[in-house]
Structures are given as C-alpha cells and as structure tokens.
Amino acid sequence: MSVKWIPVLLLLEQLSFQFSPGRCGRVLVWPTEYSHWMNMKIILDELVQRGHEVIVLASTASILVDPNEPSALQFEIFSTPFTKDDMKFFYRKTISKWTNDISKDTFWTYYSRVQEMLWEGYDILAKLCRDVVFNRRVMTKLQHAKFDVLLADAVGPCGELLAELLQVPLVYSVRFSPGYKTERYSGGLPFLPSYVPVIFSELSDQMTFKERVKNMLYALYFDFWFQTFNQKKWDRFYTDALGYFTEESEVHSNVK
C-alpha cells in the first residue's frame, strides 16, 4: 500500500464512527484552496464511492472548489463580495512575497513577516466565514439538511463554528500547521524536538547537535510567539456569531 494513502484511510476510519452500521451519511464540508483542497478531495471522492452524500460549501470566489466541473460531489454556493480574481491576486502576491521578497537572514524578521501574511489571509477567511454564517437562507437550508458530520481543514477556521451552529460532530483534516501546534495540542501528536524537525524550519530528520538546538528554539518560538491568526479578532467574531444565532433561536421560539 502506498504511504500517501495511510492518512486517507485513517481519516475514513474516523469518519466511519460517525455513521450507524449499514447506513450512509450526509457529510458537510468546509474546504480551503489549493493543496489543502487537493488532499481533502481524495477523501471526499472515496466517501462518495462508499455511498455517502457529500455537500461542499463553496463561495462564489472559490478557485479550485469549482461546482461547474463534472463531479459526484454536491455544492452549496454562498455569495461573497470577493471575486475569483481577487482571490487569485492575493494568493499570487503572497506566494511571490514569501518566496522572493522576504530575507531569511534574520530569524525574527522573517517569521514576523510570515505571520503578517498569514494574518492577512485569515482576515479574508473571516470575511468568507461571515458571509456564510450570517446568510440566513444558506444556514436555514443547512440546518434542515440534518448532516451527520462536518469535515473541515484545520488550516481554515470556521468549520468548528459551523459545526457548533448546526450541532453536528466535527472531524478535521490536517495537512500541517505552523510548528505542528494544532497537531500537538489538539491532536496529541507525540513531538520530540530533538528528533522531529519543526515544520517551516527546513531541517531534516538527520540533524547535527547544533541543528537540534536550533530546532528546539523553533519549537519554543512557535509555541510562545508565533500566532497563525489573530486569535482575539476571531474570538470576537465567534462570540458575535454565537450570540446572533442564540437571539435568532429565541425569536423563533417566541414566535412559535
């Protein structure tokens, strides 16, 4: 068996626990773009092959998540002020800046710039998330659909919010997070900095003593200084969204 299929099979096994024996389930998907979507699509295609119904949430600005392509997947489209060109411009600008414009000579400066670029991307994700969770038509349709599980890529927040609002179990697909922070603290991944190179460190698993010390510093940096996204901003947004839906539920209950 090819090694690349092992994570797919493990995730499929985890998803299978969400469904009753002999019954196909309904899966809602909060995807991300490019390589993360490519990895996730392998899992989704396999779920469809096994008889599950898979519905992918996609914005009108989605690039690779294209509902117009022939696919066994179903799509629920929500509107956003962004265009495909806006998204392509952002990703091209970010990749160009990351690979060509930022010097790696100074550790702190380099990762501070990387953090700034990531925060800019997460601001866009926050707006996309807002466009779907405050879209009453889409959310009402999703609530009535009675999904069995929500599958999301952990690199793109909003999946956990949707799962909470729709009151369905959440399963993450994780390619990697900066410093393996999500994998270690949320997934319990064993991590020994003396042996396992930190993602983004560009070190290999064959490290000299000096490189092991350097890897330890990377691990400490990603634990205590580097933030993938502006947590305070996202906390405020999630609080607003949860408060809004609580009020909406109370209004509907009073009307009944």
Say yes or no to pLDDT of 244 above 60.
yes
The answer to whether residue 253 sits within a structural domain is no
Backbone angles phi, psi at 30, to 5 degrees: -105, 105
The answer to whether residue 113 sits within a structural domain is no
Mean pLDDT across the stretch 238-248?
A: 86
The answer to whether residues 136 and 79 belong to one domain is yes
Query: What pLDDT does 227 receive?
Result: 87
CA proximity to 152, closest of 168, 135, 136, 139: 168
Look at phi and psi of residue 146 and say left if phi exceeds 0, alpha if psi is from -120 to 50, else beta: left
Looking at residue 23, which CATH number applies to its domain?
Answer: 3.40.50.2000
The answer to whether residues 52 and 131 belong to one domain is yes
Mean pLDDT across the stretch 24-47?
A: 89
> Positive or negative CA dihedral for 215, 220, 223, 224?
negative
Banded model confidence at residue 200, pLDDT cuts 50, 70, 90: confident
- Kindly provide the b/e burial profile for residues 29-38, where b requires at least 16 CB atoms within 10 angstroms of the residue's own CB: bbbbbeebbe
Mean pLDDT over all residues of the chain? 84
Chain centroid, CA 178 distance in Å: 13
Query: What pLDDT does 106 receive?
Result: 74
Do residues 75 and 54 touch, judged by C-beta distance below 8 A? Answer: no
pLDDT tens per residue across span 203-237: 888 899 999 999 998 888 888 888 888 889 999 99
Say yes or no to pLDDT of 66 above 90.
no
Residue 115 burial (C-beta neighbours within 10 Å; 0-12, 13-18, 19+): middle
Query: Which residues touch 13 (CB under 8 Å, ≥6 apart)?
Result: none
CA dist., res. 184 & res. 196, Å (int)? 12
The answer to whether residues 80 and 206 belong to one domain is no
The answer to whether residues 156 and 219 belong to one domain is no
Say yes or no to pLDDT of 9 above 60.
no
Dihedral angle over CA of 113, 197, 125, 63, nearest 10: 100
pLDDT tens per residue across span 79-97: 999 999 999 999 999 888 8
CA proximity to 79, closest of 159, 136, 22: 136
The answer to whether residues 56 and 171 belong to one domain is yes
Domain that holds residue 200: 187-238
The answer to whether residues 229 and 132 belong to one domain is no
When computed from its CA atoms, the radius of gyration of the chain, rounded to whole angstroms, is 20
Q: Which residue has the higher pLDDT, 6 or 86?
A: 86
**Domains held by the chain: number:** 2
Instruction: List beta partners, residue 30.
Output: 152
Query: What pLDDT does 124 receive?
Result: 93
Banded model confidence at residue 23, pLDDT cuts 50, 70, 90: low
